[in-house]
Amino acid sequence: MATRLNMLLLNLQLISTCSVFVLPSAHSVHFQIPSFAPNDNRILYQGDAIPSNGVVEFNDITKNYRVGWASYADHVPLWNSKPGKLSDFTTRFSLRINIPNSTTYGHGFCFFLAPVGSLIPPNSAAGLLGLFNTTNGVSALGQVVFVEFDTYENQWDPSGVGNHVGINNNSLTSSNYTSWNASVHKGDTADVLISYAATTKDLRVSWSYRETNNPGENSSLSYQIDLMKALPERVMVGFSGSIGFGGAREQHILQSWEFNSTLEQESNNSTSRKTKIVIGVLIPVVVLIAVAIMAYMIFQRRKRKTETAANNLTSINDDLERGAGPRRFSYSELVTATNNFSEDRKLGEGGFGAVYRGYLPDLDLVIAVKRISKGSKQGKREYVTEVKTISQLRHRNLVQLIGWCHERSELLLIYEFLPNGSLDSHLFGKRAPLSWAVRGKSEMGLVEWVWGLYGKEELLSAVDKKLNKDVVEKEVEHLMIVGLWCAHPDSGLRPSIRQVIQVLNFEAPKPNLPMKMPVPTYLAPTPSTTSISFRIPSFDSHDKSILYQGDAKPVNGVVEFNDISKNYRVGWATYADYVPLWNSKTGQLSDFTTRFSLSINIRNVSAGYGHGFSFFLAPAGSTMPPNSAGAFLGLFNTTSAVSAPGQVVSVEFDTYEDSWDPKGIGSHVGIDINSLTSANYTAWNASIHNGDTADVLISYNATTKNLRASWSYQNTNDSKEIPSLSYQLDLMEALPEWVTVGFSGSIGLATEQHVLRSWEFNSTLDLEAETKSSTTARKSKIVLGILVPVVVLLTAIIIPYIIFQRRKRAAALNLSSMNDDIEIEAAVAPRGKSEMGLVGWVWDLYGKEELLSAVDEKLNKIVVEKEVEHLMIVGLWCAHPDSDLRPSIKQVIQVLNFEAPKPNLPTKMPVPTYLAATPSTTSISFQIPRFASHDDSILYQGDAKPVNGVIEFNDISKRYRVGWATYANYIPLWNPKTGQLSDFTTRFSFSINIQNVSDDYGHGFSFFLAPVGSLIPPNSGGPLLGLFNTTNGVSALGQVVLVEFDTYRDSLDPRGIGSHVGIDINSLTSVNYTSWNASFHNSDTADVLISYNATTKNLRASWSYQNTNDPQEVSSLSYQIDLMEALPEWVMVGFSGSIGVATEQHILRSWDFSSTLDLEPPETKSRSTATARKTKIVIGTLVPVGVLLTTAILAYIIFWRRKRNTAAESNLMNDDLELGAGPRRFSYGELVSATNNFSQDRKLGEGGFGAVYKGYLPDLDLMIAVKRISKGSKQGKKEYVTEVKTIGQLRHRNLVQLIGWCHERSELLLIYEFMPNGSLDSHLFGKRTPLSWAVSEMGLVEWVWDLYGKEELLSAVDKKLNKEVVEKEVEHLMMVGLWCAHPDSDLRPSIRQVIQVLNFEAPKPNLPTKMPVPTYLAPTPSTTSSEPLLTNSSLDVGR
């Protein structure tokens, strides 16, 4: 026995010693394959490609539309992200293309580099070269670079070139190409060399033929490309061969291949194991042995007592570990969940290891288990880091880490299972690329595609077809045009929020966008002029160069500015593009000249008239201010001499004398500088010129700074009248760099019509060419500007879906335990103690018509009741349990703005009965009489789509097409625990419309059951029925059972039968079948019943036709099969329609399905049973003989040392995980030290639960708040555990963060982050001063504004910055902050104005010295006019 032990120890020492040394490896890739053997696992084959006689044959030329791939099995590192190093590579291969018919052949052969794990896309044969499945120039693989030998000219190929060799970057259109005569070289072997130089970024290809070289033919090609930008860090390399239809077929043969790359990557050094066991204990005397045994027994007794005393704490730790973020799982749990990591549960495999699908019955949760392979570079350190990092992340768009396991030398991570994969798996991974319905069939991105449709006036064709045109076309059109406006490549031409809302509410016209998406050539301008010049002799309603606001509109070639049937109206007409006025870099100021023809038609000269017409220059993007009619000329909404747009220069033709106008002058022409009071003016008799046309010239000389206006009338010139005016003004000081130019017409009580008849404008500003650095900076801004709207658009689509799925899953959980939660009851009790929580309580008040009683009494009724009522009803509407009945953003805004009535909600909160399934059964039942485009219960793949209430499966304008329609949820077929198998029954109505009965037709329609998550296999069209991609009788899906309605007889079909109905078990050959006359039933509807009896194992199909039943035709079929052996536990069910050369349309009209599988609820285990299953070590053997005692003790010491070392290693890992995985456990001693032994001077407050103390943790350099629960508190251990479990999982910047917990020495302690100013709830519900309706009287904004008025703004800067700031920048930043927080939202700046001020391109805003009081909510009648006071229906001043 001792000899065996010594040998064992020696082996362990040798193993541990050897395992310390792991040599770093380098990963340049090199292989040479002179001949391809069938058993060579270095090459992976897809599609038709097979090794044959030492070469690779890529296509089965007996068939049409075929693809084959041959790729290297290992990944190739292309570049290294850390040092930014890019690899050189060289590849040589010998290729032969055999063309059977030199007159018609096609389509081509490619060498490609693509993302790791790429698969052949479906429908990618012929001209799509096996790499694309659309012709829009975007690869289905996401990113691909390839060299093509193209033997057929398609519409995207170089025109007139014919066959060619090309280098392509993620597109079917070659970036560079040369002509190549495929027919001359047919059958000859080409030796090809492709190389890439990382230094010069040059990709080069050259080729030569062994027998048919042509000296006159170009045989090389190159293209400069940065592969770090074009491809991911690791790629797969290989070849694709594609053929098309009929005579356009050819055989592609690869004869040899070698590859070399130069990128070296060092692998991580394995950390040496500190697990060296040294045993050298010898016990010479039996007495000493007895003493050792006695000492051990005493130790065990003491240990047992300690464990008993710590029992309660252990249970609490277990609870906390389960609740506070990710938890530890046992290896046996995961073995059970994944069926011992069986192959059928494997979701995927990579360099790190494999991922398996599993199910945890105690949590009723489907999981994904990442099993790190022992040969992976991801070691224990990376494993711990991954847990620590990901466990701290909480976001609805991130896959959630549920737990971990590190037992039996395994490293396992448990994530939530995503049945449809994540977005990145579709964009960059192995899953099928996003389809047209998601990608939008974009040629140059979503925005470019939509813009192209806008230019073609086909914008509505971009609307999702699933909506069945159930939209208001005008609303959709406005919404999409506004989206394009917001995504304009030039950020200066994008709208403000106000403009967006006005257009969406039809308060302003649609923007005038160019027909094509602008190319941002302004990024690299030549030193040419950007002067603006336009001439508009007549105004057409279709002319998009003019934007109209308010009443202004084009009528019969002129612009009418006001609706004179009403009082106090304004209209604006402005040039659609912004005008550059000066250049901040060069200091150059623009000259400009504008001419326009104007008439003012006064309706009643004797009754008075007013108010005026203006030409103005204002900040780019300005909009008409509210309350700006009458004397305010549409430019001001106060009389404080400050314009509402912020800065404005205008020339006014004023027809009414107001208090700020020149005294005794009457109507006048004036030049106004950001004020209603003219800087210079002259008298002007408006009544004399009534109805006559004035020709006006306004010019500005940048050298003399002179602004001049002159005018003359066509019929009523007055020699006594001065018809000109000028004023010296530096426009660089008065206006921003870019401006809007246009006209404003305003009327009051008395009305007049302002008519603009023509307009021309010229400016002369030259902008110098930008430097390289500034060009790069502007490129970055433009790229960000384009990305942000697109990301927002995608987020707006993805986030609601994720929220819906999470809420649906969460609502299905049993909520009864939450009713016992003391903290939730305590929070809800003041609000009505409703069991349904806050929403249920408010909804109950709504039903009792007591909604306003929910308003916080501390507000002292300082609220507008109507506003609060609308707000709370909208809140209930948004919280409706049925998400389909919740409002859109537009509906919310309309109700809150009183533009739409309040929603009519039920008086009681609806109970989500759709979640409350019967407790035991998981049977599936659904009935779909009609297929709607917005019905999410059906998933479509390939060509299948809903059309007018039915599903059409194939695009019959093309050949070899497949379509799938499957039920969105998975179907439980049998129960592995009980061995129970489900009965099921399905009924459906379908028809097959054969295009030409006289010709061959085919190929067929099938109902199938297949493994969960199956996708359409590539190359599965025609007789493969969309379910197979080989003819060897094995399905590409792994396991499939189907009932086929086959309209074409193939070699695997029953001989002499023709079209037939068959039952197929994972094979194209039917296990049972009957003849069926497809042509006789052409276009007639068949009602089909398919049923399965789990007792008799009988699968039966029967069918009847509505019009063409044939009594002599057999119309039923059955087969005995055990589906537990044929199919997995969970399946997907659906239909597949497939066509070949001859076409037919398969149409599904209705479908219902029901199954009967009852799954027993998870077994409840009693505490005693659970305890009995734990491992118990019982040692009580007394050894009478010394030799036996020695042997037992040695064996125990060996076992104990191993266990201790393993446990120590595991505990170290657990400590790391616990430190990183959310809140952590603190010792009592740490908290005593942090709080100065919970001294009174550290106490922050006290309540019924206990006290809160301020503390400091020096090792974390962190201020904390320690909640010390008093022993007399009602909050016991259960509530303490619940609080940690609940709050520990929350991560949000607006929530106080739980840092940790402690439960030692009979104390219950919770550690939170310290908030020096208190939390928001202490102001709303606690002892602190309540926040008023206007938030506070002297809050942060008011305090800063007060400092601004005292000219002490910089005193608000944080002193911790030690004045290490640029005072000018800080001052501008803080003033912009005040500007953005202006109580009157109409006076807040646009994004463009903010950026200009922060970039010092515009002056600081002129703010009042005191924060304005929002008296505009309840205005008193103004007396600033000589006119009588007006009623509430009019304005305060003027007419």
Strands annotated E in 332-400: 346-349, 353-360, 365-372
* Buried/exposed code over 873-896 (b: 16+ C-beta within 10 A; e: otherwise): bbebbeebbeeeeebeeebbbbbe
Strands annotated E in 1314-1413: none
8 Å CB contact between 989 and 1135: no
Strands annotated E in 1189-1289: 1224-1225, 1243-1247, 1250-1257, 1262-1269
Would you state the torsion angle of the CA atoms of residues 932, 935, 940, 946, taken in this order, to the nearest 10 degrees?
0
Round to whole Å and give the CA distance between 724 and 712.
Answer: 9
Task: Report the length, in residues, of the chain.
Answer: 1439
8 Å CB contact between 65 and 48: no
Round to whole Å and give the CA distance between 658 and 640.
Answer: 14
Round to whole Å and give the CA distance between 374 and 352.
Answer: 9
Neighbours of 929 (CB within 10 A): 10
Bridge partners of 70, per DSSP, are 45, 239
Round to whole Å and give the CA distance between 1117 and 1406.
Answer: 87
Neighbours of 628 (CB within 10 A): 25
Q: Provide the total of helices (H) and of strands (E) in the chain, helices listed first.
A: 26, 62
Q: How far is CA 1408 from CA 672, 1383, 1400, in A?
A: 21, 12, 21
- Phi and psi, residue 707, nearest 5°: -105, 125
Would you state the torsion angle of the CA atoms of residues 1198, 1204, 1210, 1216, taken in this order, to the nearest 10 degrees?
-150
| Cβ-based neighbours of 1276, under 8 Å, separated by 6 or more | none
Round to whole Å and give the CA distance between 372 and 379.
Answer: 8
Round to whole Å and give the CA distance between 1084 and 1089.
Answer: 16
CA atoms within 13 A on the CB side of 450: 23
| Cβ-based neighbours of 173, under 8 Å, separated by 6 or more | 137, 156, 157
8 Å CB contact between 1268 and 1238: yes
Q: How far is CA 1313 from CA 128, 242, 1255, 1295, 1319, in A?
A: 59, 63, 10, 10, 11
> Which amino acid is located at 665 in the chain?
I
8 Å CB contact between 275 and 1209: yes
**1404 annotated ligand binder:** no
Cα separation of the two ends of the chain = 115
Strands annotated E in 674-814: 680-683, 693-701, 706-713, 724-728, 738-747, 752-763
8 Å CB contact between 97 and 189: no
Q: Is 48 exposed, middle or buried (0-12, 13-18, 19+ CB in 10 A)?
A: buried
Bridge partners of 68, per DSSP, are 47, 241
Strands annotated E in 297-352: 327-328, 346-349
Neighbours of 913 (CB within 10 A): 8
Token couple for 59: 């296509």
> Which parts are annotated binding residues?
1267
> Which parts are annotated binding residues for ATP?
1267
